[in-house]
């Protein structure tokens, strides 16, 4: 490489760097500005409800069995017509996910017979302590639809004798 070529390359390098000033920054102002997530991105878990406000989760713990990271802990409780959380006999009294153990594989979603647990790209689990990263049922459960009472509900006897409601149709796209 002759002197001329060395100098040319240095000048070209300087020009290239200077040209970058006109480019839009590739970085973004993170908390205010966020990049759109992929529609298939698995964010954090949400426990869903039916349209009448009852919880979909029936405390069967199939998700906990399917979980390869052993991140889910479920304790079931008995439903009564005076204090009804979900259709059928049982509901999840305790539902905890350790977000530090979770590998976001989505197997819990696949295992769920009632489509109660769904991974949605809405928010990300963040926290300052290990304890705060264990998400409880209150944190995971979505709020009921507008003008619909939350659980527990007082329900007429004999109305909810099946663990899976025939209505509304399960939205398979979620």
Site residues for other proteins per CB under 8 A: 10, 13-14, 16-18, 20-21, 23-27, 29
Min CB(121)–other proteins separation in Å = 25
Rounded distance between C-alpha atoms, residue 99 and residue 45, angstroms: 9
- Secondary structure (DSSP) of the chain: --HHHHHHHHHHHHHHHHHGGGSPPSS--TTTS-PPPPTT---EEEE-B-TTS-BS-----HHHHH-TT--EEEEEEE--SSSBSSSSSEEEEEEEEETTT-----HHHHH-TT--EEEETT-----SSTGGGEE-HHHHBPPPPTT---SSB---TTS--SSS-S-SPP-TT-
Nearer to other proteins, 34 or 147 (CB): 34
Min CB(12)–other proteins separation in Å = 10
Min CB(11)–other proteins separation in Å = 10
Closest listed residue to residue 108, CA positions, set 159, 71, 160, 156: 71
Torsions phi, psi for 106 (to 5 deg): 85, 10
Min CB(28)–other proteins separation in Å = 8
Nearer to other proteins, 25 or 166 (CB): 25
Nearer to other proteins, 25 or 169 (CB): 25
Nearer to other proteins, 7 or 122 (CB): 7
Nearer to other proteins, 20 or 143 (CB): 20
Min CB(24)–other proteins separation in Å = 7
């Amino acid at each position: 490489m002759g002197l001329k070529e060395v100098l040319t390359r240095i000048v070209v390098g300087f020009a290239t760097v200077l040209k970058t000033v006109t480019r839009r920054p590739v970085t973004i102002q993170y908390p205010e500005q966020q990049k759109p997530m992929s529609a298939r991105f698995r964010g954090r878990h949400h426990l869903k409800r039916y349209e009448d406000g009852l919880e979909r989760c029936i405390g069967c713990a199939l998700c906990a069995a399917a979980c390869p990271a052993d991140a889910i802990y479920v304790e079931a409780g008995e439903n009564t017509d005076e204090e009804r959380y979900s259709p059928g006999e049982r509901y999840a009294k305790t539902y905890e996910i350790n977000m530090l153990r979770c590998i976001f594989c989505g197997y819990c979603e696949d295992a769920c017979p009632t489509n109660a647990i769904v991974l949605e790209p809405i928010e990300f689990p963040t926290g300052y302590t290990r304890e705060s990263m264990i998400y409880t049922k209150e944190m995971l459960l979505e709020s009921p639809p507008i003008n619909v009472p939350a659980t527990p509900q007082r329900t007429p006897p004999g109305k909810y004798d099946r663990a899976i409601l025939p209505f509304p149709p399960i939205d398979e796209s979620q």
